[in-house]
Amino acid sequence: MHEGWDDDARDRLGLLMDVRPAQAIAVLNHLGVADLLKEGPRRVGELAAACDVHERTLYRLLRYAAMHGVFSEIEPESFTLTPMAAFLRSDAPQSRYWHVGGPTAMKPWYAWDDWMETVRTGEPAYDRAHGRSYWDTIREDEAFRAAFQASLREIAARQVPAVLPMVDLGAHRVQVDVGAGEGSWTAALLQRWPTLRAVCFEVAASTAALGATLELAGVADRAEVVTGDFLEQVPAGDVVLVANVLHDWDDEQAARILSNCAEALEERGELIIVDRVLPEGDVPHPGKSVDINMLFNVGGRERTLREFDDLLASAGLSMSEHAGTASGVSVIRSKRSRGS
């Protein structure tokens, strides 16, 4: 150890600065290698042919990933899944496929110059890299939209069971799902409360997947799909749900969404927000990593409880309750402030 210096701190910093593991995993994931191995081990030549890539280069990348416990070379040039690699399967429960270089993820090999420009301007790197916004891509690219909707289903599968016991909508008549996505939240709520009706508010491009989810859940007869822009208006209801939406937007836009939600609330109505709530200071939290994704993909952000409180107040709302869940998101309940 060098006198006056912490060599362990130097080594930890070196690990944080090494982008190679993330890049290797992202490329292998983008190629769908984990899905190709789900039936059992395969040789590199077979994998390269299936992926239409250079065989020796693929081998070197797999060997490097295997060194980190992602895949395993069980015999020369033959690889299999490991417990970590299994989470890269697109069909795995709690799959990480959609988070690590999948079609909807920010690719780790984006030029650092783009990141630097984002830090200078606050504008998303995604827009510069693709020549259009993330949301434009979802609207215009059917394959990208399908992958995005699959990621929403995977997220809902983790969050809904943790959130449902924390809310009681039995006394409510009409629930408005703002940014309803592919419909998993509304489907679960309507199945839980059979007297509840719902309005699913989404952009037109998402209505096909939304309708299919409601039909499959057997609740389509109690749900109305309404298209529109929540930055402009929100349909009326006595409970409004905003799940995993606000973190996609900067403070000005998030405040506008909340103001529209406040206007949509019927008398004595309630707004329910499902989102990550960051701890203050240096406390570790997975949302602080997601926050970087929001910054570079869409220009959004994760927020602390204090920041949510400020946003709600700016929209004429007051927080009545906040509680965390085992799934990593929190439930924030609020109502119109008196006099609003």
Phi, psi of 244 (to 5 degrees): 55, 40
Same structural domain, 83 and 185 = no
- Angle subtended at Cα 94 by Cα 93 and Cα 100, rounded to the nearest 5 degrees: 125
Same structural domain, 197 and 292 = yes
> What is the rounded CA–CA span in Å between residue 94 and residue 60?
28
Domain containing residue 24: CATH number: 1.10.10.10
240: closest CA among 203, 278, 185? 185
Residue numbers of the domain that contains 247: 155-336
* Mean pLDDT of the chain, nearest integer: 90
pLDDT tens per residue across span 159-168: 999 999 999 9
340 Cβ contact partners less than 8 Å away, ≥ 6 residues apart: 262, 316, 317
247: closest CA among 169, 206, 303, 328? 303
Tell me if 72 is assigned to some domain: yes
Same structural domain, 89 and 160 = no
Same structural domain, 179 and 297 = yes
Same structural domain, 87 and 159 = no
CB 136 within 8 A of CB 148: no
DSSP 55-99: HHHHHHHHHHHHHTTSSEEEETTEEE--HHHHTTSTTSTT-STTT
Neighbour tally for 6: CB within 10 Å: 11
Tell me if 148 is assigned to some domain: no
245: closest CA among 91, 235, 130, 256? 256
Same structural domain, 302 and 214 = yes
Same structural domain, 89 and 171 = no
Same structural domain, 87 and 214 = no
Instruction: State residue 98's pLDDT score.
Output: 63
How many helices and strands in the chain, by DSSP H and E?
15, 12
> What is the rounded CA–CA span in Å between residue 278 and residue 329?
9
Tell me if 146 is assigned to some domain: no
Cα–Cα separations (whole angstroms), residue 77 to 2, 67, 72, 162: 42, 14, 10, 43
DSSP 107-166: PTTS-HHHHHHHHHH---HHHHHHSS-HHHHHHH-HHHHHHHHHHHHHHHHHHHHHHGGG
Tell me if 163 is assigned to some domain: yes
Q: Is 30 a known active-site residue? A: no
Phi, psi of 190 (to 5 degrees): -70, -35
Mean pLDDT value across residues 127-137: 89
Same structural domain, 76 and 160 = no
Give the total number of structural domains in the chain: 2
Same structural domain, 310 and 167 = yes
Q: Determine what percent of the chain is predicted with pLDDT higher than 70.
A: 93
CB 27 within 8 A of CB 101: yes
pLDDT reading at 37 higher than 70 = yes
- The DSSP output letter for 226 is E
Tell me if 127 is assigned to some domain: no
Mean pLDDT value across residues 186-211: 95
Domain containing residue 204: CATH number: 3.40.50.150
Mean pLDDT value across residues 292-300: 89
- pLDDT bucket at 52, cuts 50 / 70 / 90: very high
Same structural domain, 26 and 98 = yes
**Domain end call among 69, 102, 135:** 102
pLDDT reading at 101 higher than 70 = no
Tell me if 196 is assigned to some domain: yes
**Domain end call among 57, 86, 102:** 102
Instruction: State residue 112's pLDDT score.
Output: 56
> What is the rounded CA–CA span in Å between residue 121 and residue 1?
41
pLDDT tens per residue across span 212-261: 999 999 999 999 999 999 999 999 999 999 999 999 999 999 999 999 99
Of the segments 46-55, 97-106, 278-287, which one has the largest average pLDDT value? 46-55
- pLDDT bucket at 3, cuts 50 / 70 / 90: low
Tell me if 143 is assigned to some domain: no
pLDDT tens per residue across span 55-86: 999 999 999 999 999 999 999 999 999 999 99
Cα–Cα separations (whole angstroms), residue 15 to 9, 18, 20, 29, 168: 10, 5, 10, 21, 45
> What is the rounded CA–CA span in Å between residue 89 and residue 39?
11
Same structural domain, 180 and 314 = yes
pLDDT tens per residue across span 104-115: 454 545 555 677
Instruction: State residue 108's pLDDT score.
Output: 47
Phi, psi of 267 (to 5 degrees): -55, 130
Mean pLDDT value across residues 101-126: 68
Instruction: State residue 100's pLDDT score.
Output: 54
**Domain end call among 102, 137, 168:** 102
Mean pLDDT value across residues 197-209: 94
In the block, tokens 């006198």 appear at 3
Tell me if 150 is assigned to some domain: no
Active-site pick, 130, 247, 285, 322: 247
